[in-house]
Amino acid sequence: MQKQKLSAFLSALLMTSQTTALAADWGYDESKQPTELKASPAKSLQPKSANPFARTPSPSAASKAAASASHAATSTEGADAPEELKATPAALSLSPKPSTHPPAKASLKTTPKVPASAKSAAAARSKPATSAGKGTAVDQWLELFDLVSKEQVTADQKTRYAEALNHKLTTPRGVEVSQITEFWPEVRGRIKNSEDEKSAFAAFFRALLRFVLKSKTVTEDDSTVLSELLGPERISVPGDPPLTEESVDAYGDMTCFMYEQAHPGKTIDAMDNRTVFASVIARKYSEAPTDKDKRAMANFSLSWSKFKVTWLSANESDRKQLFEQYTMGKPPSSDIKDPLITTIFANGPWHPKLN
């Protein structure tokens, strides 16, 4: 009975979210699930910050870390995962960790190169921006880049990124740079003393910038900077657009979070369960009836990161309503939203691409 309840919960949850176009008819065919989903006590689920979105380290990630520390160690974690599975989601974490994914299929836009504007802007390397407003916007973008990068941004990179941003400010699309002043001061304040919000906003802006990078109207300089900053895009299922491992990870994180909210003290955040999530999500993407549905699934990392930011800023009453609406596949009430997200969506290089 418990297994049936768990399967029913996942069937209702994974593919009835508003972020997958309310595709309630995409419920799982439970007879085809490759392995049994198991719930276990959440003994160490919450970190000291009590971040509800923090995920426990995956067994395979831990075994890889141990293997790199000692060649004599032999790992058997995750040995039962099917070989044909193309994406095994890695757990959410506030700190970098070894990837549990197979070798990446890198985007063609990932080879760093000097921006086209570098030569013309070389003379400006030692000069401050001619306008205080420009300097403020460029400095804020460099802070944002520091937030989203999974590796430390070097001084040389910051110099090149600043050159590209200053050059863009002189073009008709300069507003895409200057508009950051509309929202970054508030973002800075929210992430200053909260690791939970810092992690959520990092994922949110990373998804937004990835969205810009994949746009057909991305500039050459933006493509160069963002490709270097974000790294290669790992593909789980090829398509147009492809289903990325970031989106598969987001589905797994969403499922674990929603289950834990519905069943306090228990978790399904285990590698065997995440293998099921990855397998089913990949199949659902391949079976998606329309291009709109595929786009919704492909962009789920953005949808889920937006939800996390909204949840962290909501009060208990709004969180309860958000949870109920999300699990039923209904769009959130218009009065439950984070005004800062609205401002962010309306300003920046992603704005014309989201509308």
Q: What is the DSSP string of 152-194?
A: PPPHHHHHHHHHHHHHHHTSTTTHHHHGGGGTHHHHHHHHHT-
**What average pLDDT does the segment 14-41 reach?**
39
pLDDT digits (tens, 9 = 90+) for 140-162: 999 999 999 989 999 999 999 99
pLDDT digits (tens, 9 = 90+) for 110-125: 344 444 444 434 333 3
**354 or 110, which is more confident?**
354
SS3 label, residue 237: strand
Phi-psi region of 182 (alpha: psi -120 to 50; beta: other; left: phi over 0): alpha
E strands, 261-330, in order: 266-267
DSSP code, position 236: E
Nearest Cα neighbor of 233 from 206, 253, 254 is 206
Provide the residue type at 250 as one letter.
Answer: A
- pLDDT(222) > 80: yes
Q: How many percent of the chain have pLDDT more than 70?
A: 60
**pTM of this structure:** 0.69
Residue 176 is encoded by which pair of tokens? 């895409």
Q: What's the pLDDT score for residue 275?
A: 87
Residue 230 is encoded by which pair of tokens? 């974000």
Nearest Cα neighbor of 36 from 62, 78, 14, 4 is 4
How many C-beta atoms surround the C-beta of residue 68 within 10 A? Answer: 10
Residue 74 near residue 81, CB atoms below 8 Å: no
- pLDDT(60) > 60: no
SS3 label, residue 266: strand
Least trusted range by pLDDT, from 125-134, 188-197, 327-336, 340-349: 125-134
Average pLDDT, the chain: 72
Give the confidence band of 131 by pLDDT, cuts at 50, 70, 90.
very low
Residue 79 is encoded by which pair of tokens? 């040995």
